[in-house]
A and B are shown apart, each in its own frame.
Chain A
Amino acid sequence: MSSDKYKGYRGKGLAVLKEHGVSVWSDVDVVAESGRFRGIILPRSETADENHIVLKLNNGYNVGLTADTIISLKEMGRREAHYKIPEKDFPYDSKKPNVKLFGTGGTIASRLDYRTGAVIPAFSPGELYGSVPELADICNLTTEKLFGVFSENMGPEQYIKTAKRIGEEIEKGADGIVIGHGTDTMHHTAAILSFMVQDSPIPIVMVGSQRSSDRPSSDAALNLINAVKAAAEGDIAEVLVCMFGPTSDQYGLLHRGTRVRKMHSSYRSTFRTIGDIPLAMINRKGLIHLRDDYKRRRSDRNAKINTAFEEKVTILYYYPNMLPDIVDACVDNNYRGIVIAGTGLGHVNKPLYPAVKRACDKGVHIYMTVQTLWGYVQMYVYETGREIMELGVVPACNMLPEVAYMKLCWALGQTDDREKVEKIMLTPVNGEITDREPYNGYLIYQGAIPEVQEFLRTIKR
């Protein structure tokens, strides 16, 4: 076990520190078999091996020395690091709109964690003002850390708490809400909040970053500025995701919370509106609306909060040769809802039919979406589709699989009645099902084609 004094050290590394009476943050003179080194002993990542100790040399570099080869270790002094963004009181201006920033974790605000060697979330209005002073030109900002989790650890508990806190802030009179969130599951949270918080009179803007804020080229600051701008001044009173449009530092896009998806594991411009066009572009000057059919900002405080949630729902991502026992397993484990991400227009193979039928008969609610992401489920085109519907599977139009999953959780949290669930599922709350797919809703450019190359060649200003 390593205490704070020996942060992260175990085994041989820990032994050598103890043996020589030094600890983390000791400024030491080391004689090792490979020579002499001078530096500060840094904490060690818990996932790294136990055989080395880490020094920060005077030149700023960190190096590891093998514990076994250390001959002597002499403490010359101590110097402890205090990683702290300069905190300044966020200024108040009665003429500016009031924005509430909720923190959930993620890379939008983060700092180094020695324990794991990775970045962990950090967050306070003072810190934010210290690092992104531009925010003060836009609004009066108050912040509240709801939780500090990576986005993959978000779940019903967090969704419900967030939705409730949003409701309270709306009642209290906030002009806009921003939610800092890890990007991995931001679209899941955006979807569930779109269902749990309806008819909001103010914008609810989710934001994150693909490059952590401890990097000079981070997208965090610009995303945050854009999101705060959209929340403070924007007219779109919906649950939105605000992230980079292109990979260049140019503008952000405001995506509808029910139609957005993370599409690249690392690109800045990872969030895309799927099967539709985004709501607006945003930069420091303001919003440029791309469509008119959005919910307007209102002065009343009448939002509907409904935090129903059923956990026993799953997504089955269909693949050729999926065996029926997967479906059986869901039923046997008392799953109440299944969203299938089917192939093509919404298909699964025949050997699955009996299992699907058994599930439907047992009262499991099964909805069909498409793993192509773009396009509608259309189960009449092929016989397969009709057969699957016969079994009791309900086509979910052009709802994205993750959105359908969140909506089914939400619907089953309210009722188990087949018809009622179906009505909830198939009545769009805010664009999760659309009547029409615009011709420019599906655009995936292919590189090397001359006109695409021409488009990429210069930054479009």
Chain B
Amino acid sequence: MRFEFKPFDEMTPADYESIGLKAGLEIHQQLLTEKKLFCRCPAGHYSKTYDAEILRHMRPTLSELGEYDGTALMEFKTKKEIIYRIHSDTVCTYEMDDTPPFMMDEASLDIALKVAILLNLNLVNELHIARKQYLDGSIPTGFQRTTILGVDGWIPFKGRRIRIAQLGLEEDACREVSDIGHQRVFLTDRLGMPLIETVTYPDMKTPQEAAEVGEILRRLVRATGNVRTGHGAAREDVNVSIDGGTRVEIKGVPSLSRIPMLIYNEAMRQWNLLRIRELLKQRGITPSTFASGSEDVTRIVSKTQYAPIQQAIDRGEEIHCVRLDNFAGILNEKTQTDTTFAKEISDRVRVVACLTRLPNIVHSDAASETLSAKFWKLIRQRVQANPNDALVLVWGNKEDAECGCNEIAIRAREATEGIPNETRQALNDGTNGFERILPGPDRMYPDTDLPPLALTSDRVERARANLPDPPWKREKQYRKLNLPDDVIRMLSYSPRALLFDRLVDELEVNPMLAGVTLYQHAKALDREGLSLENLSDEEFISLFKAHRSGRLAREGIVEVVRHLITRNEYDTARNGGAPNDPDESIRSALDELGINPVPDDDLRKMVENAVHRTDFPRTVNTRDKKHRYLMGILMERLRGCVEGQIVSGILNEELDALDEVQERKARRKAK
């Protein structure tokens, strides 16, 4: 391994290639539905308050093929008490696992089906609901009901294909409130909301590519118009491996922009763990020669000045020491940015032994900052360690301290094997920490509460009919219409794409006008805090019909849109947004804005009056300037009523006429 890990900014694609980086994504996206997936509770209602609490424990069970899942066994070791906080508006007895599931929400299935088609997946013909075990308590049943709609799809990316492994439809989990010691607390409002999980193959070769593909996938699902947006509505997991490494999953990535740094650090961690394995091998430590021991050293260190241990003793806890034979120095080996191997151990102790108060270990590789040399010497004697051995102290009640010792030895031994199969959590500084052992297919179990559900070809065709072409196809079509780049990019992923097509194809609206209205104007309005989402497709259609019939000039469109959004928002707040007749909605908006037809004669008269005014500012002293000045004044009154082009034409005629009159006058004078 001659390669040296460089700082993040200096790593090149070639560097990543040399370590064999592979990254994949799992994107969880909440669907925009009224109800939850397997019960009739409302979806998307959040609340921090709660009415009741329920306590549960989880026990591992066998998989369908008769195996125990590793994660399940790990979670069982933690002996967590799990408390669920329940708000009566958002949770019923189903989520609390006191009522069997209801039939799957049809709307959710149809949305998921659309995404499956967009992802070019091989669709299954019959859905089987599975139970995916989660013993961390995030779901009260101990499993997530989940099903897959298709496998082995793809999306285009930079001239190649990123393969999609599968698309799942599943229920969302609880939100964690706290996890301290042996007690974990969850809020349950989000529990059971429909979610799709898109899993890619590990086809991304650099951290940046992973973020880019994440962005494409996110926009792709949004293109259906049926997914939730906003905080927590889309969540990404990243899986990372390097040559000789292990597929490690990083959970809870807060935003796509964080992905590159997380992947970089994980690649570095794996590369360093392989390096540490090599170091151990050179010392002759392999899985079979690995040795360790542990002792209760409470009495030896009872007089220490080191605060964390002193406090532990005050709490009546025991201090145990683990001896890792021939490990001296290893705990100080770097793993991630500003992180050493000792963190791998501390994480395990925190999660598995539930010793959540940090620091939860101290070790002899960083001896000087903790216990004084005198104590280390005594401990060393007690555990019969020689100077080549590393010592790790851990404290807690007897049971937890013993569990901690056990985990320390397990994690140290794993260093001789390489990189453990783990699920890790994304941390704010771009590094990651241990969350749990990576679950395998053994955690899947068929849901015996629900029968299989045929995914009929009718249903598939219906979904296909309601779906815009995939974004990459649309991009090509829009390019032919000569739209600006930013409009093309946005439209190809927009849930309004079908609307755009209807406007252009059926109403023969100028594509530029439609594109600019749906994107550039939308963006400007968005900055004013006005969201286009408040306008239905039907209202847009009526709006452009009014335009095509000459009732509304193009300059007035944005004005009407602004007015409609404000009015609809108000209506929604007042009466829950009862649907209104779109034609009527536009007619009344035009009335309210005073956009009325102007008869030709009146228009001519207005322009005539304008050109004959005498109070032009001094700077308005040429014909061009006059034209511009008068257009401003006229359009102020005529915006939306008459096309600017028409006004401009008449104005030119009148100015010409005036010029002629004045010329004649001048000539007469000259005579």
> A residues touching B (Cβ–Cβ < 8 Å)?
32, 34-37, 45, 47-49, 51-52, 54, 56-66, 69, 79, 81-85, 111-112, 117-119, 131, 210-218, 221-222, 247-250, 264, 266-268, 447-448, 453, 456-459
Contact = CB atoms under 8 A, between A and B. Distances in A.
A81 B66 contact: yes
A66 B126 contact: yes
B122 A36 contact: yes
B452 interface: yes
Contacts of A59: 148, 165-166, 441, 444
Given A48-B451, A64-B452, A268-B98, A216 B152 contact: no
B96 interface: yes
A336 B96 CA distance: 45
B443 A60 contact: yes
A47 B93 CA distance: 28
Given A47-B451, A61-B444, A247-B54, A221 B59 contact: yes
Contacts of B66: 81-84
B151 interface: yes
11 contacts: A34-B123, A63-B126, A81-B64, A119-B448, A131-B61, A217-B142, A222-B57, A264-B98, A457-B50, A459-B53, A459-B54
Contacts of B140: 217
B381 interface: no
Contacts of B147: 61
B104 to A, nearest CB: 15
Given A83-B66, A216-B142, A217-B142, A248 B55 contact: yes
B57 A249 contact: yes
A56 to B, nearest CB: 7
B126 A64 contact: yes
B620 interface: no
What class of interface size applies to chain B in its complex with A?
Answer: 35 or more
Nearest to A211: B97
Contacts of A111: 62
Given A119-B448, A459-B83, A216 B133 contact: yes
The 8 A-B residue pairs with the shortest CB-CB distance in the complex, in nearest-first order: A35-B122, A64-B126, A216-B142, A60-B444, A60-B441, A248-B55, A63-B124, A62-B128
Contact of B53 (A85, A448, A458): A458
A112 B454 contact: no
A340 B51 CA distance: 41
Given A35-B151, A214-B445, A217-B58, 20 more contacts: A61-B128, A61-B148, A62-B130, A62-B444, A63-B128, A65-B125, A82-B66, A85-B62, A112-B445, A112-B446, A117-B451, A211-B97, A213-B61, A215-B97, A216-B141, A217-B56, A248-B54, A264-B98, A267-B93, A457-B51
A64 B61 contact: no
A25 to B, nearest CB: 10
Contacts of A112: 64, 445-446, 448
Given A35-B152, A61-B128, A82-B66, A52 B444 contact: no
Interface string B645-667: 00000000000000000000000
A34 B120 CA distance: 10
B135 interface: yes
Contacts of A218: 59, 61, 142
Contacts of A63: 124-128, 148, 151
B96 A37 contact: no
Contacts of B99: 266-267
B442 interface: yes
Contacts of B443: 60
Most buried by B among A35, A131, A217, A458: A217
B55 A459 contact: yes
B141 A215 contact: yes
A229 to B, nearest CB: 17
Most chain A CB within a 10 A radius of its CB, from B55, B57, B126, B147: B126
Nearest to B82: A249
A351 B192 CA distance: 51
A58 B151 CA distance: 11
B188 to A, nearest CB: 13
A66 B126 CA distance: 7
Contacts of A117: 446, 448, 451
Contacts of B51: 453, 456-457
Interface in B80-101: 83, 88, 93, 96-100
A247 B63 CA distance: 25
Interface in B132-168: 132-135, 140-143, 146-148, 150-152, 165-166, 168
Nearest to B81: A249
A214 B98 contact: no
A35 B443 CA distance: 26
A54 B441 CA distance: 17
B60 to A, nearest CB: 7
Contact of B166 (A32, A61, A69, A249): A61
A292 to B, nearest CB: 29
B65 A81 contact: yes
Contacts of B135: 216
A447 B88 contact: yes
B64 to A, nearest CB: 6
Contact of B446 (A62, A65, A215): A62
B14 interface: no
B467 interface: no
B670 interface: no
Interface string B27-52: 00000000000000000000000111
A210 to B, nearest CB: 8
Nearest to A458: B53
A288 B65 CA distance: 41
Contacts of A56: 64-65
Nearest to A70: B125
A52 B125 contact: yes
Nearest to B130: A61
B27 to A, nearest CB: 16
Contacts of B251: none
B72 interface: yes
B131 interface: yes
Of the listed residues A56, A84, A212, A250, the one surrounded by the most CB atoms of chain B closer than 10 A to its CB is A56
B126 A83 contact: no
B609 to A, nearest CB: 70
Nearest to B120: A35
A48 B303 CA distance: 70
B53 A457 contact: yes
A173 B151 CA distance: 60
Given A215-B131, A266-B98, A52 B454 contact: yes
B128 A216 contact: no
A79 B64 CA distance: 12
B452 to A, nearest CB: 6
A216 B448 contact: no
Nearest to B439: A60
A63 to B, nearest CB: 4
Contacts of A453: 51-52
Given A35-B152, A216-B60, A266-B99, A64 B454 contact: yes
A250 B81 CA distance: 10
Nearest to A40: B65
A336 B121 CA distance: 66
Interface in B342-388: none
B58 A216 contact: yes
B552 to A, nearest CB: 47
B127 to A, nearest CB: 7
Contacts of A119: 448
Given A248-B54, A248-B55, A64 B64 contact: no
A130 to B, nearest CB: 10
Nearest to A447: B88
Nearest to B455: A64
Interface in B422-442: 440-442
A61 B64 CA distance: 11
A60 B65 CA distance: 10
Contacts of B97: 211, 215, 217
Nearest to B55: A248
